[in-house]
Structure 1
């Protein structure tokens, strides 16, 4: 409410002008506020998923060696997160080339895509690459992870009978002839979260990140980037949620 005689320019005004306004306390650090205003009418998420991608270069670097993309193609979504080895411009080049190659070959089966991607990165530092191909009509995720870009599928906060699924990755570097990999399939339901992180994000998440009922995709990604990023590496977070 607005106090009688006040200017009306405080939090009540923010609330009135927001499409979404929440007062949260996700854990240590005090009270958090979240206000969202859409510039234009918000469309329904394509293919039943909403995504956000956040990256941060290693402190002192001008470019981030982690790159990612969400690719819409006919009846599927392809999500990629690539971490070029090391940091700086050469790492960024390797990751960018990996993402570009996947974008231009979005309909190639994942098993066939890896040798092509490996050839593409042969003259670079190489990269850790994880790809999730989502088939909404089947509520299925085809996953292929090589290196240390982690992925997981989290059920909604109110779900008690289902556990978090950690996607399986294989050792190796794309661009250095990884010799063992396999496409794995996971099923998802409406409301599930999918989170991909480079190794610049600590595997142990801050307490507030596990309270999913307090988050949307952006606030979860930002919390991980702000509070779980390694101080001496590039860091990236890709968060998606199945809305149907």
Structure 2
């Protein structure tokens, strides 16, 4: 938080993954620092840190890779460096941060110097499993709007052999302005302006039975929830009065440029839209994806009072995770942009110590709360990277996004 009711959210643009030594990463870091106006001195410090991280991956790590990406808000832009490997891991991270710990002929500046150069450095390591390192570099002096840790972070990685990723994630704060009404349906139009699905009443002239109306459905699902213990759909979800936070996970169908085009269309619609509830946002994204391959999409709204509203269409895994539990959130079949059935929004309680996890099927969903229990104190982007390292597959585009309560 950077002020009363103000949630710090930054946009994130993945630039490139590097797996073959430090030269490519070093040159890309220099070009990136100059492009976003980081400044000559700050860019040199970024390049030095990237070179050390990449060299350490090459000389010490198993299956190491490094990601460069741009972080920006409405006032400034910076660079985030993510280094991840599958081992051997560090037995003592505080010792590794002390000067003089560099080995095998590296630059000798060590992680301690990276810690001093970066505006923030977070490391999670487990012997035998590997290490995730996340460092951020902002222009000096650091603007107060980016000094803290954002409550949302994620990561994407394209399928092996592709340079663009068909997965995406995004987050934004609620500006408190209600969404405009959906476009008015023309008389006789057999398609719903909200979902693009056939309006059977217009096609057949027959109204659905009373049990299928919105009110009756909401009543029936509430009764069913009481019997089964499962959360009931909230048919008319209402955004709270405080500064809420909206988060989206998107998996464009297939992979490659066409999938990436669908994912980026969803991101643009999400970021520029004025909808306040997940259902309204999903409708805006659905309209934006017409003419594309379509996508699986999940959208959540996190409220300061601890409520979480969730709406999912397609194969996005979503769960609420604490140190002791994992609660899976329900999505429904469909393809956003093509075939989307009746939207359902589910309301859950998000404990202050819990995180919301959403990821594409480029990650296996066969993980439990114990896999994340030791990570929950880290920034969301590091948690997402660690989850991808553990459960990701290189046979598909992959993405994960983590959100913490805005309270």
TM-score, normalization by structure 1: 0.79
Question: Compared with structure 1, are the counterparts of its residues 37 and 200 closer, same or farther at alpha carbon in structure 2 (3 Å cutoff)?
Answer: closer
Structure 1 residue aligned with 2:310? 143
The answer to whether the aligner puts 1:110 opposite 2:278 as a matched pair is yes
Aligned-pair CA distance for 1:110: 3.2
Q: Which residue of 1 aligns with 2:265?
A: 97
Partners of 1:18 and 1:112 lie apart in 2 by 39
Aligned-pair CA distance for 1:57: 0.8
Say whether residues 1:185 and 2:347 are aligned partners: yes
Paired with 1:108 and 1:85, the residues of 2 have a C-alpha distance of 26
- Matched residue, 1:67: 168
Give the equivalent residue in structure 2 for 1:239. Answer: 402
How far apart in 1 are the matches of 2:147 and 2:377?
A: 23
Could you tell me which runs of 5 or more consecutive residues in structure 2 were left unpaired when the two chains were aligned: 1-97, 101-107, 176-242
Secondary structure of 2:335 counterpart: coil
CA distance in 2 between counterparts of 1:241 and 1:53 reads 12
Q: Distance in 2 between matches of 1:130 and 1:191?
A: 22
Q: Report the TM-score when normalising by structure 2.
A: 0.50
Q: Which has the higher helix share?
A: 2
After TM superposition, give the deviation of residue 77 of structure 1 in Å.
Answer: 1.4
Residue 117 of structure 1 and its aligned partner are, at CA, apart by: 3.0
Taking the aligned partners of 1:35 and 1:63, their CA distance within structure 2 comes to 22
- The total of aligned residue pairs comes to 230
Q: 2:383 aligns to what? A: 220
- Distance (Å, rounded) in 1 between the aligned partners of 2:154 and 2:316: 14
Cα distance between partner residues in 1 of 2:313 and 2:279: 12
Give the SS at the match of 1:175.
coil
Aligned residues of 1:69 and 1:99 also touching (Cα < 8 A): yes
The 5-angstrom pairing of residues 1-244 of structure 1 reads 10=110, 25-26=125-126, 28-29=128-129, 32=131, 39=138, 40=142, 43-44=147-148, 50-74=151-175, 75-136=243-304, 138-155=305-322, 157=323, 160=324, 163-205=325-367, 208-212=371-375, 215-242=378-405, 244=407
Between 1 and 2, higher relative CO (CA 8 Å, sep ≥ 6) is seen in 1
